[in-house]
Structure 1
């Protein structure tokens, strides 16, 4: 059956190709998948490079941190050694100072003893016979208790003994009045007003004394008397503050 053609109308002839559109769609899909795979691979390659660079940076930083830690440990140990060395040096210095003080004290004591014996064996013309050499006073733990040591000597003639008695009195104030107290009344080690002595070179008289309440000591008076053919008298007064200042 034929159709009539109108004037001015044109016909276009299109070639019929079965499956062309399907093939084109498949090609575009394949190209897209390929491009995606290539892009993913490139991205992975670039990302892997960045990851390895980060790992290297991390390793370097960890190494630097470990080096700093080691330096810190060494510095800390050096500081400990220096502190320990300073402590040891300070202890050694203090020990040396204590030793020096002890040696100086011993030297002073030896010099005093040497002078003491020299005076006994080779006296001067003005000091011969019975002498009150010295009195030492040392405060005990109780404030009102003192240890005492009185030394009597015989200067010059030591071939024979000298004997006699010595009296010790503590002079002070109580209730605003002057008071003299015998050593016998202050010490349980002394029984008599006059302490007997007998010696050739020297004799020590030692003991403890306790001051009564309200008594303020000022001086200690020592009076020694020799009897027989060496009859003589020696007297000496000691300031209490000077005796107890140590």
Structure 2
């Protein structure tokens, strides 16, 4: 009988060694790593981000472009206003110019009318002096002589003859002129033929009841300085009438050539 104290024989383990971790019970269920989110959700999030970005850009564009558009409209309105004002200024300027020209023409016309009125008044006074009931009776006379320079050495003369002694009677005859002056330091007198440059020149005929203006041309020689001019009236009947006037009085606005 074997003793109960006999050591037991060690057991030999012939099985393969197993990793404690791998020794855990095998899990045949789903994988332990979590699956990624679905693709559709990703696109939704991305779309919302892009939409928000576009909306932000649109807001920025409205913020920037809005005032700019308003300024452009205001600029266009201001430019139109400026053009309108410029047109008004041009119109007013032209109107003022026309008014000035019309006023200048009117002033000129009024001045001419004043001269005509003065001349008519002088004529009326002249007529009254000779044909009025209180007019002083005078015979044939030279009332006025006016000389006007022409081209070269020529002069235009206007002689006003009057008479009211014989009312209704006709005075007729011839008029001749003579000029006294100096040339080359010597006194010289030019008769009617020399003044007309015609050896056989006859006097200018006149015929009137109360007054008449006789006009014509005379020519002075070069270098001649006139001093006096004489008017000689040779009536058809009666004694000749002669009157001498200083050259400076009958041609005050021109010097002799």
User: Using the alignment, how far apart are the partners of 1:145 and 1:131 within structure 2?
Assistant: 25
Aligned to 1:239: 247
Q: How do 1:66-215 residues align onto structure 2 when only pairs under 5 Å count?
A: 66-122=76-132, 125=136, 128-140=138-150, 142-187=151-196, 192=201, 194-215=203-224
SS of corresponding position for 1:214: coil
Flag the 1:219–1:92 CA change in 2: closer, same or farther, 3 A.
farther
Gaps of 5+ in 1: none
Report the alpha carbon displacement of residue 68 of structure 1 after superposing the two structures with TM: 0.8
In the superposition, the TM-score normalised over structure 1's length comes to 0.75
Contact 1:171–1:220 under 8 Å retained in 2:
yes
Report the alpha carbon displacement of residue 211 of structure 1 after superposing the two structures with TM: 3.1
Moved more, 56-65 or 92-101: 56-65
**Who wins on radius of gyration, i.e. which is larger?**
2
Flag the 1:205–1:29 CA change in 2: closer, same or farther, 3 A.
same
User: Using the alignment, how far apart are the partners of 1:68 and 1:46 within structure 2?
Assistant: 33
Gaps of 5+ in 2: 1-14
Alignment root-mean-square deviation, CA? 3.6
Aligned to 1:38: 48
Higher strand share: 1
Higher helix share: 1
User: Using the alignment, how far apart are the partners of 1:223 and 1:13 within structure 2?
Assistant: 173
Contact 2:176–2:232 under 8 Å retained in 1:
yes
1:110-131 deviations in Å (ceiling 9; x for gaps):
1222222222224755x61111
In the superposition, the TM-score normalised over structure 2's length comes to 0.72
Question: Is residue 65 of structure 2 the alignment partner of residue 52 of structure 1?
Answer: no
Paired residues, what number? 236
Report the alpha carbon displacement of residue 50 of structure 1 after superposing the two structures with TM: 2.3
Contact 1:182–1:193 under 8 Å retained in 2:
no
Contact 1:165–1:197 under 8 Å retained in 2:
yes
Moved more, 173-182 or 91-100: 173-182
Contact 1:132–1:236 under 8 Å retained in 2:
no
1:90-141 deviations in Å (ceiling 9; x for gaps):
112111111111112111221222222222224755x61111011223334x
Contact 1:175–1:214 under 8 Å retained in 2:
yes
SS of corresponding position for 2:140: strand
Flag the 1:186–1:232 CA change in 2: closer, same or farther, 3 A.
closer
Report the alpha carbon displacement of residue 75 of structure 1 after superposing the two structures with TM: 0.8
User: Using the alignment, how far apart are the partners of 1:192 and 1:112 within structure 2?
Assistant: 34
